[in-house]
Amino acid sequence: MAEIHSSAVVSKEAKLADDVVVGPLALIEGPVTIGAGSVIQGGARVIGPVTMGQRNVVHGTAVIGDWPQDRKYHGEFSETIIGDDNVFRESVTIHRGTGLNTKTVIGSRNYFMVNTHVGHNGLIGNDITMVNGAMTAGHVQVSDRAIIGGYCAIHQFTRVGRLAMTSNGAMYNVDVPPFFIGMSTNFITQLNRVGMIRSGMSLESINAVRRMFKFLFRTNAGRTLGHGIKALPAELTQVAEVREFVEFCQGTKRGIARFQAWSSRDVDDAGERQDD
């Protein structure tokens, strides 16, 4: 039997694994499925339809699965789907989809820090960190291992690529491409070298991404990004990570964040890495 505090309120529609822990004054409403090893701490609220995997931790005052903040929503069926091993800290809000039979999807091993928000119809990948106060609006897609920094905001229908990172409270209504860091609104400023290394990316791939960076934003700085991509050397486009960047940019509907060097050091940091 799940361990449910006497002051918690759990819907008869809820399905909890045998070792789920539900703390004092927690509220589980409607059709909610919670997998093994999960903890719903005191004061947290999970509002179905929600399907939650294993070993998730929902801290006090977090709200998972509430109605979307959308004037067009009038209670039609939508849901929230959550993977495994996620952490939702205090006052995190994750909203269900808006529109009939839509969903908000959260992957696995994500860390949502205090006061972060994922809007309706969001598609959040795996191993993502959202730092205190970070927000993604409706229909935002965030790819694996991205970091959304403190008080950064991502506009609706915008995408954030794999291993991208935003910080300094930057806000984006254009796409943030994979492997880049952004420290200023709608700009990317440098490559996420540390993130690429920590991800286990090969030295060959990292150097190819860096050569791509130099070609697009240094050697051919006067061209548009689209023209630069078309002129990329064939040996670069054969590398999977370079193709990932190219395909991400070619698939944009809102445009790609523009490049702006963060410091003079970044201007000189386009060469190949020979270490590691």
Which H/E stretch holds residue 147?
strand 147-148
Query: What domains does the chain contain, in order, with CATH numbers?
Result: 3-139 (2.160.10.10), 194-267 (1.20.1180.10)
Indicate whether 270 pLDDT > 70: no
Whole-number average pLDDT of the chain: 94
Mean pLDDT, range 53-73, rounded to an integer: 98
pLDDT in tens, 64-122: 999 999 999 999 999 999 999 999 999 999 999 999 999 999 999 999 999 999 999 99
Looking at residue 1, what is its pLDDT? Answer: 84
pLDDT tens figures, 213-243 = 999 998 866 789 999 999 999 999 999 999 9
pLDDT at 219: 80
pLDDT of residue 221: 67
Considering only 31-45, 141-155, 260-274, which range has the smallest mean pLDDT? 260-274
Task: Give the rounded distance of the alpha carbon of 213 from its chain centre.
Answer: 23
Q: What's the pLDDT score for residue 276? A: 37
What are the E-state strand segments in 14-122? Answer: 15-16, 21-22, 27-29, 32-34, 39-40, 45-47, 50-52, 57-58, 63-66, 78-82, 87-88, 93-95, 102-106, 111-112, 117-118
Least confident of 18-27, 235-244, 259-268: 259-268
Phi, psi (rounded to 5 degrees) for 248: -60, -50
Q: What is the mean pLDDT of residues 7-34?
A: 98
Per-residue model confidence (pLDDT) at position 274: 39
- Could you tell me the pLDDT band of residue 264, with boundaries at 50, 70 and 90? low
Could you give the strand order of the β-sheet that contains 21-22, starting from the edge strand earlier in sequence?
A: 3-4, 21-22, 39-40, 57-58, 87-88, 111-112, 129-130, 147-148, 165-166, 180-182, 190-191
Peptide bond into 49 cis (omega under 30): yes
Average pLDDT over residues 6-25: 98
Dmax (CA) for the chain in angstroms is 67
Q: For residues 132 and 264, what is the distance between their CA atoms, to the nearest angstrom?
A: 29
The pair phi, psi for residue 165, each rounded to 5°, is -145, 135
87 three-state secondary structure: strand
- Percent of the chain whose pLDDT exceeds 90: 92
